[in-house]
Structure 1
Amino acid sequence: MGFVTTTRERLDPESCYRAVASRDRRFDGVFWTAVRTTGIYCRPSCPARTPAYGNVTFHPSAAAAQAAGYRACKRCLPDATPGSPDWDVAATVAGRAMRLIADGVVDREGVEGLARRLGYTPRHLSRLLLAELGAGPLALARARRAQTARVLIETTDLGYADVAFAAGFASVRQFNDTVREVYAASPTQLRGRRGGRTGGGTVTMRLAVRTPLAGRALLEFLAFHLVPGVEVAGDGWYARTLDLPHGPGTVRLDLADQHDAGRTAFVPATFTLHDLRDTTAAVERARRLLDADCDPAAVAAHLAGDPVIGPLVRLRPGLRVPGQVDGDETALRTVVGQQVSVVGARTVTGRIVAEHGRPVVTDVPGLTHLFPDAATLAEADPATLPMPRARGRALVGLAAALAAGDVVLDRGADRDDVRRRLLALPGIGPWTADYVAMRALAHPDVFLPTDIGVRNALRGLAHGPDHDAAVARTIAGADAWRPWRSYALMYLWSTLMPPVPADRPEES
């Protein structure tokens, strides 16, 4: 992002003001602008007339602006932005906390639960978040609830009581008071501006992402790796089951390329939930899967000049690193896929899902099961699993560590600590630990030099008579791709992806 940082003490007013004056969309979600004369706060790209420099202050979070007494601009909807890409790049305590808050941890477990997951006392965590983001955990959670409530009000036919509890509010009165304070409008007034409508346990939203977005490439990756019973895909869409805090659900994402660089794009998402209280968690997990907070402009600026990766970046701008809806699932699937082909891993994992996964009834053909949870697989006999005995023992051992909390993959854990704990488990090597870091923990700077797919991709891109020597030279120079090696890896793998299947869900 260049000259603006999200750390509160270093948020440079003059640099921020230049971004506001140029309506630079790259900084939407990185900082917020509050205008003293109007009492509102905006995203940097707000189309309204640029306020005078002396009338503005800058805040590292929407919650900080709200805590300072400002209400959200009705024109630019400053809360409807992707999150800061710095949260994944730096992986600070504040960024890890924001991921957990977005998942609804404060709503479900309170500040004490959030602090416990991060390894701090509630008081110390509050001090850290106030210094970094300008607001404490309760204010940050309140801002997230308000944003979720606004989206539900404007895009669904849910009753206001259902909206309140789906957004995470403890009462309808708290919901009404917060909406009025944040948006200077009642829920009824907000609903007057709504777009599409849904009802029942189905919620349709548009998930904000930065552009460009290589949606087709993301779909190709997800479709190539899908597990029967848990995931299905067709031309332009992907759907899967969700194991959420209060019950099962499903999500369908409509994925297409969006090339209007620098703007906020929106991915249509349809959630069907057993319990609407899981709306916040379901939305955050879908955003993780999309790598929605990625800054593709920063990735491209760093990689586009590289002789190997550069042509791929220019061919497919906005490639994402697919995330996860459940870190435990990602890790367990990674172990299943060790030293086998993707097609073979899909088949084996599908058999495990059919045997150990929880059956669910859905409206989407082909979605029949939740992925088995760690506690269930921890009780499995390795000898009965459809894989070599050693890998079966590694899978059960990992499941036991996940179930016991010895390894935590909820995006709140320290990445280095997770890697150490994974490598301490029998059958878990560097490739597995690093792949889990990239997919489950959103690490942007992972490279897998021993991966057969990486070597095949580089061999296909190599020129000259000695392809093996060219591959070795490229791998040796991969440090030049830092801090975006995960994205370089995805660009290499993208050359190997088969076409997206037609609209025929895969049978379980």
Structure 2
Amino acid sequence: MNLDPDTCYKAVASHDRRFDGRFFVGVSSTGIYCRPICAVRTPRRENCTFYDTAASAEKHGFRPCLRCRPELAPGHGLADISGRLAQAAATLIDEGFMAEAGVAQLAKRIGVTERHLRRLFDAQFGVSVLEYAQTQKLLLAKRLLTDTTLPVTQVALAAGFGSVRRFNDVLRQRYGLTPLAMRRRAAEGMADQLVFELGYRPPLAWSALLAFLGVRVVDGIEQVRGDVYLRTLAVDVGAQRHLGWVRLEHVPKRTVLRVTLSGTLAHAIPQSLGKVRRLCDLGCRPDVVDRHLGDLAADVPGMRLPGTFDGFEIAVRAIVGQVISVIQARRILTRLVSLAGEPLPPKALAGLPPMAGQPPLTHVFPTAQALADLPDAVYREAGVTPGKLRTIRALALRIVSGEIALDPLAPPEETVARLREVDGIGDWTAQYIAMRALGWPDAFPATDYALRKVLAVSTVRAMHDRTAQWAPWRAYAAIHLWHRYGTPPASGEPMADPSADRSEDHSKEQAA
């Protein structure tokens, strides 16, 4: 990001939330760096320098502000930054990847050499990979000390430090504070629970996001009531698997989502918060997306692209829901979860807030390995048809083997092509998975019958011509259209996938 000092200072002086997380301001008179929305008195222009990451500010000797708390700033969406690979690496670091691995493993994960990753990272962020990782560990530790009552030993381990001694030394060296001194600054009377706040760039169409998720709720793993979303999750950290639950509630006055995690996720906090960011698309720049979509976004500004906690889960939902109603799909998925999902142990359910009138949370969604190994008889008992059974199992085997990855770091075009090679997955299903599992902002289900009807087009080619004006944000356009007109899959997930049956008519349509 090219930081124009005059523009940045105007944003600081006006506390403009559109710039929150896009840069940080270092104040030489205090040695502190802040978010542009910090409520302290605006510093003098000659005392300000600007940095595109917290790590860069810390590299230049600044300490994080204890008032605006830079660790709460919203992050970047992958589409915001030209250096997609560098940002992909940064996202993995933010989510705790380097607590169990080094730079070489990080480079391998995103598909480049270690030397190339170091060069990309320095060019994009102005700091080394290790400097960035160190800053993220410290900011996470600062958040845990401030927002939870976890013992210091657990804070050090959860943040990725090998020992409390190492944690104390780094914290004192970088911030001039000890863990206990930092904890004394936290609010008194905190409940013994894991509660965090995740910032976003306003506006956020929370009601529209909940409406999208609410009609797709699978009993046993999800609940939606009022303005609250609650679900189970499983997080793998190294060789350890952590089961628990997460509760999301919007706090619009503070422009944050309040996230409550079960205590069993104490050692998977960065990974769990990363899943929440992806589900709610908190890295979105609504000012950019809404301006590009124009009148389409006028009725519901701040619409997010609904993501997922697990890409394979979204794929299974899409396959199960082909051709049938949302009610039927939900019943089948609920039975599949109860028969093949991993039950939550009593410890993981401790502290679970009750939600009146909702079926209890009992399981996490089945893994790809579990569904690959699931006997045909169990699929039939759940109500899965033989054709969909074969498709789910074929996809699960490709996920287990690593042939296909369904996460935001996967190359979208290549992944869509590989998905379409699976018998039973056509373009609609592949594009829908790309929208939600990969977070691909330009994915678009051009064969969607309801969207074609709304846009008054009759062929796939005409659909692409009609929607070209919304590129590269066509996935957001699809969400707006489904929401505005109440068309499937907003009223049923998903609608029939015209390409799933490999029909002759569809082949002719594709050729057109």
**TM-score for both structures, normalised by structure 1:** 0.85
Match of 1:197 among 190, 196, 204: 190
AA partner of residue 216 (structure 1): S
Deviation at 1:117, TM superposition (A): 1.0
Answer yes or no: is the 8 Å Cα contact 1:180–1:186 preserved in 2. yes
For residues 186 and 264 of structure 2, the distance between their equivalents in structure 1, rounded to whole angstroms, comes to 24
Aligned to 2:245: 250
Q: What is the aligned partner in structure 2 of residue 371 from structure 1?
A: 365
Residue type at the aligned position of 1:270: T
Distance in 2 between residues matched to 1:349 and 1:89, nearest whole Å? 37
AA of the residue aligned to 1:280: P
What is the CA–CA distance in structure 2 between the aligned matches of 1:403 and 1:88, rounded to whole Å?
A: 31
Letter in 2 for 1:169: F
2:270 matches 1:280: yes
Unmatched 5+ stretches in structure 2: 353-358, 492-512
Partner of 2:11: 19
Question: Match for residue 124 of structure 1?
Answer: 116
Change over 3 Å in CA distance of 1:182–1:320 after alignment to 2 = farther
User: Aligned to 2:24, which of 16, 25, 32?
Assistant: 32
Per-residue CA distance 1:20-71 (angstroms, 9 max, x = gap)? 3443221111122223343222222334444455543332211121122221
Is 1:479 the counterpart of 2:472? The answer is no
SS at match of 2:328: helix
Contact 2:78 2:88 in 1 (8 A): no
Separation in structure 2 between the aligned mates of residue 346 and residue 153 of structure 1, nearest angstrom: 40
Matched residue type, 1:328: F
Alpha-carbon displacement from aligned partner over 1:249-308 (angstroms, at most 9, x marks no partner): 11011146x3x7xxx61111110042521111111111211111111222222223x3xx
CA distance in 2, matches of 1:326, 1:206: 22
1:399 matches 2:390? no
Match of 1:429 among 408, 422, 426: 426
Residue number in structure 2 paired with 1:3: none
- Aligned AA (2:90): M
Amino acid across the alignment from 2:224: A
Q: Which residue of 1 aligns with 2:284?
A: 294
**Cα offset for 1:391?**
1.9
- Corresponding residue for 2:177? 185
1:235 corresponds, among 214, 226, 230, to 226
Mapped to 2, the partners of 1:105 and 1:96 lie a distance apart of: 11
Residues in 2 aligned to 1:91 and 1:174: alpha-carbon distance in whole angstroms: 32
- Out of 294, 311, 320, the position equivalent to 1:327 is 311
Alpha carbons 2:368, 2:399 under 8 Å: kept: yes
1:96/1:413 contact within 8 Å kept: no
Q: CA deviation at 1:374?
A: 0.6
Q: Distance in 1 between matches of 2:465 and 2:370?
A: 41
1:441 is aligned to 2:442: no
Counterpart Cα distance in 1 of 2:391 and 2:159: 39
Please show how residues 152-167 of structure 1 align to structure 2 within 5 Å.
Answer: 152-167=144-159
1:390 to 387, 391, 394: 387
CA contact (8 A) 2:369 2:397 kept: yes
Query: Secondary structure of 2:61's match?
Result: coil
- State the match for 1:85 in structure 2: 77
1:418 aligns to what? 415
Q: 1:268 is matched with which residue?
A: 258
Bigger shift: residues 181-190 or 24-33 = 181-190
* Whole-angstrom distance in 2 between the partners of 1:205 and 1:218: 20
Q: Give the deviation of 1:203 after TM superposition.
A: 0.7
Conserved 8 A contact 2:408-2:440:
no
Partner of 1:409: 406
CA distance in 2, matches of 1:343, 1:13: 54
1:98 alignment partner in structure 2: 90
Aligned residues of 1:320 and 1:487 also touching (Cα < 8 A): yes
Task: Quote how far apart the aligned CAs of 1:205 are.
Answer: 1.2
Structure 1 equivalent of residue 510 of structure 2: none
Does structure 2 retain, via aligned residues, the 8 Å contact 1:32–1:44?
yes
Name the residue aligned to 2:323.
339
Which residue matches 2:338?
Answer: 354
Match of 1:146 among 138, 145, 149: 138
What is the Cα deviation at residue 183 of structure 1?
Answer: 3.9
2:457–2:463 CA contact under 8 A, matched in 1 = no
- The match for 1:462 is none
Question: Which moves more between the two structures, 418-427 or 484-493?
Answer: 418-427
Paired AA for residue 302 in structure 1 = H
| CA separation of 1:382 and 1:481: change in aligned 2, threshold 3 A | farther
Match of 2:213 in 1: 222
Change beyond 3 A, Cα 1:123–1:288: same
What amino acid maps onto 1:375 in structure 2?
A: Q
Q: Percent identity?
A: 40
Greater RCO (Cα-Cα under 8 Å, separation 6 or more): 1
1:62 — aligned with what? 54
On the 8 A contact 1:73/1:183 being kept in 2, the answer is no
Contact residue 149 and residue 167 of structure 1 kept, 8 A = yes
Moved segments of 4+, more than 6 Å: 471-475
Gap change, CA 1:446 and 1:380, over 3 Å in 2: same
User: 32-41 or 441-450: which moved more?
Assistant: 32-41
- Assess, with a 3 A threshold, how the Cα gap between structure 1 residues 180 and 420 changes in structure 2: closer, same or farther: farther
Query: Match of 1:253, SS?
Result: strand
Q: 474-483 vs 215-224, which deviates more?
A: 474-483
Question: Which amino acid is the alignment partner of residue 164 of structure 1?
Answer: A
Q: Is the 8 A contact 1:357 1:371 kept in 2?
A: yes
Structure 1 residues 342 and 453, CA, compared in 2 at 3 Å: closer, same or farther? farther
- Give 1:488's aligned amino acid: A
SS of equivalent to 1:227: coil
Residues 169-193 of structure 1: CA distance to partner in whole angstroms, max 9, x if unpaired?
2211232233334444332232233
Give the distance between the partners of 1:212 and 1:244, measured in 2 at CA: 30
Measure the CA separation in 1 of the matches of 2:35 and 2:174: 15
1:488 aligns with 2:483: no
Residues 171 and 177 in structure 2, CA contact (< 8 A), matched pair in contact too: yes
> Could you report, residue by residue, the CA deviation over 1:321-357 in whole angstroms, capped at 9, with x for unpaired residues?
1111112222222222223222222111112111111
Matched residues in 2 for 1:342 and 1:255: separation? Answer: 26
Which of 377, 380, 395 lines up with 2:374 in the alignment?
380
Letter in 2 for 1:436: I
Q: Give the secondary structure class of the aligned counterpart of 1:247.
A: strand
Measure, in 1, the Cα distance between the counterparts of 2:450 and 2:181.
53
